[in-house]
């Protein structure tokens, strides 16, 4: 039971480092890249706080250098998924009973580890296993994940502050508790920060989690789990499994203790998950919470005062950084007619084809479009 009012440290965005030639962060990152490339890791699952190895070892390689072996992860089966469910349910009561400020302290510590001693490691793991450059890895794996943890704690405090009004002579107040069961976190390949946030966000509120990352992000996911354990996360609160996706979903979504899903991925997969939950609704102890992010249409809206050169660069970077493989990739632009001719010329200079016409004609290597307004 809390014995005071607690003001958590103010959440601020983590500053992005430049990695300029000669900078200490550049030297540290290069050394970490060489270190990780020099060894072949064996990556186990983590269930109930313990490393779980199997005989089924799956090779991991950089997408940009497929001949190089980063290591092998231990493929699990449905018995391991059930172990993870059981471990989460075992940890639930004690984790839910822990004071929110103590839970918050664990994730604030994790943020400090990410931006401190683990910064080079999480960035290097993301660069090697997910083919991001130093800048993309820095803003994703280190900075945004730390921001998720710190601002997540702020959101937790804001939720606990939400209390009802009381009539005269009556004091009404809310006490918050976790959901009845476990959360299933299903995370994507393209953002290490999302892979960290989806299992951590519900855990902050006292929930327990079974976490299955994308097969392409297991290498960096193992580093996230290492950080969480070093920060003091109790055993069984977040359980990391590597198993067949459809089989895992079938087992999880048929469990009476399934309490919710936190998902980022394709629209088709999420629709299938939602359909299965609906068909199984009579099995569950409570109505599951369904939270998912799928594909969208992100746009650039240019003001008439925009600098044409800056706008052209922003359009190219917004659409094509990381090959456009992210939910934040710009897929349309609204450009004032007064700017379009100048932007079009500058944009043509940036396109490898150098063709002319509307933007989608101008850049024939693209399937992204622009509209003149």
Q: What sections of the chain are H helices per DSSP?
A: 24-37, 78-97, 100-115, 119-130, 134-137, 145-161, 192-204, 218-230, 245-253, 267-279, 308-320, 337-350, 359-362
327 part of the active site: yes
Task: Give the bridge partners for 238, in sequence order.
Answer: 209
Strands 289-293 and 71-74: unpaired
Write down the catalytic residue from 28, 180, 293, 321: 293
CA 55 to chain CA centroid, Å, is 28
Tokens, residue 325: 């493989």
Cβ atoms of 311 and 335 within 8 Å: the answer is yes
Write down the catalytic residue from 25, 180, 327, 351: 327
Phi, psi of 205 (to 5 degrees): -90, 15
Other beta carbons less than 10 A from residue 290's beta carbon: 14
Q: Listing from the earlier edge strand, what are the strands of the sheet with 45-47?
A: 50-52, 45-47, 238-240, 208-212, 182-186, 258-264, 289-293
Tokens, residue 122: 């999480």
Tokens, residue 190: 């393209």
Distances (CA, A) of 345 to 31, 299, 303, 338: 41, 20, 18, 13
Q: Tell me the C-alpha distance between 355 and 362, whole Å.
A: 5
Q: Tell me the C-alpha distance between 201 and 209, whole Å.
A: 10
DSSP 121-135: HHHHHHHHHH---HH
Tokens, residue 66: 């497929």
Q: What amino acid positions are annotated as catalytic residues?
A: 293, 327
């Amino acid at each position: 039971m809390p014995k005071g009012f607690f003001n958590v440290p103010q959440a601020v965005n983590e500053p992005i480092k430049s990695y300029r030639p000669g900078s200490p962060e550049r030297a540290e990152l290069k050394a970490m890249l060489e270190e990780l490339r020099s060894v072949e890791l064996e990556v186990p699952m983590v269930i109930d706080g313990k490393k779980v190895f199997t005989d089924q070892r799956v090779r991991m390689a950089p997408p940009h250098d497929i001949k190089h072996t980063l290591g092998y992860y231990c493929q699990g089966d449905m018995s391991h998924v059930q172990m993870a469910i059981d471990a989460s349910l075992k940890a639930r009561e004690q984790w839910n009973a822990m004071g929110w400020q103590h839970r918050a302290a664990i994730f604030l510590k994790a943020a400090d580890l990410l931006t401190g001693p683990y910064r080079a490691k999480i960035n290097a793991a993301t660069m090697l296993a997910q083919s991001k450059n130093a800048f993309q890895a820095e803003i994703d794996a280190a900075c945004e994940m730390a921001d998720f943890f710190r601002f997540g704690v702020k959101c937790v405090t804001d939720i606990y502050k939400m209390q009802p009004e009381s009539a005269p002579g009556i004091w009404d107040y809310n006490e918050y508790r976790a959901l009845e069961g476990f959360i299933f976190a299903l995370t994507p390949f393209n953002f290490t920060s999302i892979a960290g946030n989806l299992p951590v966000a519900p855990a902050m509120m006292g929930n327990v989690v079974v976490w299955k990352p994308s097969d392409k992000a297991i290498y960096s996911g193992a580093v996230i789990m290492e950080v969480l354990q070093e920060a003091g996360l109790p055993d069984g609160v977040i359980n990391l499994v590597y198993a067949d996706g459809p089989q895992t979903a079938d087992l999880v979504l048929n469990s009476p203790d399934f309490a919710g899903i936190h998902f980022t991925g394709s629209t088709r997969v999420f629709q299938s998950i939602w359909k299965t939950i609906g068909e199984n609704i009579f099995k569950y102890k409570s109505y599951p919470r369904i939270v998912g992010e799928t594909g969208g249409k992100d746009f650039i809206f240019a003001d008439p005062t925009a600098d044409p050169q800056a706008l052209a660069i922003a359009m190219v970077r917004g659409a094509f950084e990381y090959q456009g493989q992210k939910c934040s990739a710009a897929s349309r632009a609204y450009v004032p007619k007064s700017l379009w001719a100048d932007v079009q010329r500058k944009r043509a200079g940036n396109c490898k084809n150098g063709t002319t016409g509307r933007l989608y004609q101008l850049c024939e290597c693209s399937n992204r479009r622009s509209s003149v307004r």
